[in-house]
Structure 1
């Protein structure tokens, strides 16, 4: 059936997504107008920036957040809404690259992002449709063996909620014959990400933090007192946290030059009968497959199927997002051929060459974090908290992250996209042939 979102209410300044249309809080915050002083100025009102802001206001700091567009405008308000524990590179890879001590340190933090989300949802009464349970789906026996190895490694780092599932039990989680089995993560889950970040932002404001939308940063004068400038004002502060990720822009080339914006596409069906939606995803767990270029999907709180997949290196979008995702949706759920697509959108995430977040300083009092590389919902909450800890003088965990090397993409800005596409093509070929 045809894609048609014209009849649904939107939320100006956001992508035309189901998240924006169904957001509980559609208020516009004012733009910065004039000069002001604070303890900490945060650039970017996505998960990283708002997580850091909440950590800091809870510690008694005065905080100002500057957002170029709207709260949650970027990946934080457009993603699949899945709580996926860990990082975009598994702990085995981290150990082989950076040593067992770094893997142990990151492993000890690897479940914390999800725990932070759940704790804040409970503490601040955030209505974001939080549901527990995640399922990683395997197409091949090779992927099953890899999941077994990941499970064993995770358990050595203290993850208690993992269970392997064979082909006969896949139907407990998803009604499709595509998979040979998978891995259940009972500490995974899903939620409405825009309502989460909006609820967290409201919690920041209730504790005295200030958030300005439509306030794109035009410059930074670093010093003993940093000054962050916008077109209509400035913020003088002791510390600056730069948390723009894929939407940061060219103002900070030391950061943006070490990442690549990558788009991912999402579509949402019309609401289904509750019985029909439950039959497709009986456990109400979110699903992510094990391919290099993966599909991910889940039920929403109003019984739609939210389905995502595909990537566009350099942030390039396909011409027909709804058509692209509909093909993927029907491959998994052929019975939905009669179902309308109500929303389809795209959003960019920041990819690093190592697929590990890039955390560091531009000066002794200017910190940054970016490049969660597709695992942003949980990792941003962890790293935002860690940035707040570092400002407060507790930099032990920050030091672990900032010590990890961050590499430039081969070929610079000109060749990074075609070379990455070539690599993705190779891994996609391996997925297709099971090698």
Structure 2
């Protein structure tokens, strides 16, 4: 399998390919999945001296890591006040101390390994009504209390200087967020792993795992023997490979387009300061400029990850509600990608067997959470599991309705929240 025909794939940097696994190999750690979770884990572990083999079923960054909106968004899909109410002050304190670490890790990787991925600082949460603006004021105070001093509340006048759209009543600018070319980030991290001696195999899907001492991970043409195994496939992990990981999560689809290249004048007239933006709706829209002055726009969720027949028909009305001045603009690329949703909207970390770990379900905050996850698994294998275990103690709940009804029931719930957003209540 090759990358989908996306803007990212069309503008990815050339690189030396990785081979397919065709033999039996041994290592300290076998990582299943070549997206950000697997890459971050492999890079932290190879930096620490571990012998790592990473297996990717398709190509590096094939899944969500190479298809997402490219936004570096801090915190989790549930903010820290919700975490404290649900799981207690101690868990909130530990997770709160890591709220902004994923983005810091990304910037460190870019700087340390000179990864060319078009990083630009600054992300905006945009409010469409007074209720959402009240939420952003509370978020501003909450995030400042956890150490983020790079936040600015935007009133209606201020957000007009950031986003030339009549939709928004205000917003919150986070200078510790930003946007980038995610596939080029993934490819740069893979090259850093190669530099540290890590072995990456593409087109080498794990077909079975035999737990033991050592664990044995089988592919169609080879086998990996390892002391440790890390499942990092998220929405693209084959359900039959480890059913315990698919029973309490749900793949969901999101769609993205990029326009034809815009003139520099037109591009800057839309987003004068070149920040990325996401709105505050439950089913949110997100957009930004690319390095070559295209508008990249995504939004909505398809629960169960069915492939839509007409992405243009889904996205164009959203884009034109935001930027009516782009009426008639042509789209050069359109694509879908899946992320993994959990009922709690919190990442699922944990252990399956002795020395077998998993990290999945970032629920829309994958760019930053995955990079944090890699650091935590490296800490855990080195004997310090406190931060990993703070996530692992969060209950992993099944979706209502079981395998048959979880998709329609979740969609009904989302429709209720979307109605509340439209009514501003």
TM category (shorter chain) comes to: over 0.9
SS at structure 1 position matched to 2:278: strand
Aligned to 1:114: 103
Q: Residue 379 of structure 1: which of 369, 385, 388 is its match?
A: 369
Give the Cα–Cα distance (whole angstroms) in 2 for the partners of residues 188 and 279 of structure 1: 22
Partner of 2:152: 163
> TM-score, normalised on structure 1?
0.96
Q: CA deviation at 1:327?
A: 1.5
| Distance in 2 (alpha carbons) for counterparts of 1:199 and 1:261 | 26
Contact 1:25 1:195 (C-alpha < 8 Å) held by counterparts: no
Give the deviation of 1:394 after TM superposition.
1.7
Aligned length: 424
Residue by residue over 1:332-351, the C-alpha shift from the partner in whole angstroms, topping out at 9 and shown as x without a partner, is 11111232100000000000
1:286 maps to which of 276, 296, 309 = 276
Secondary structure of the residue that 1:329 maps to in structure 2?
Answer: helix
RMSD: 0.9
The counterpart of 2:205, out of the listed 208, 216, 223, is 216
C-alpha separation in 2, matches of 1:104 and 1:163? 23
Deviations 1:266-317 (A, max 9, x none): 0000111111101110111000000000000000000000000011000013
- Cα distance in 2 for residues equivalent to 1:352 and 1:117: 24
Which residue of the partner structure matches residue 225 of structure 1?
Answer: 214
153-162 or 186-195, larger mean C-alpha shift: 153-162
1:240-273 alpha-carbon deviations (Å, 9 max, x no partner): 0000000001211101111100000000001111
Find the counterpart in structure 2 of residue 72 from structure 1: 61
- Per the alignment, in what secondary structure is the counterpart of residue 188 of structure 1? strand
Question: Within the alignment, does 1:84 sit opposite 2:110 as a pair?
Answer: no
Q: 2:382 aligns with which of 392, 410, 434?
A: 392
2:360 equivalent in structure 1? 370
Q: From 410, 419, 422, give the equivalent of 2:409.
A: 419
Aligned equivalents of 2:14, 2:301: Cα separation in 1: 29
Gaps of 5+ in 2: none
SS at match of 1:160: coil
TM-superposed deviation, 1:224: 2.0
Distance across 1 between alignment mates of 2:14 and 2:233: 22
Q: What is the SS of the residue equivalent to 2:97?
A: helix
Q: TM-score, normalised by structure 2?
A: 0.98
Mapped to 1, the partners of 2:10 and 2:114 lie a distance apart of 21
1:354-398 Cα offsets, whole Å, 9 max, x none, are 000000011120000000000000000001111121112221111
Answer whether contact 1:25 1:198 (CA < 8 A) is retained: no
In structure 1, the partner of 2:21 is 32
Show the counterpart of 1:239: 228
* Alignment gaps of 5+ in structure 1: 1-11
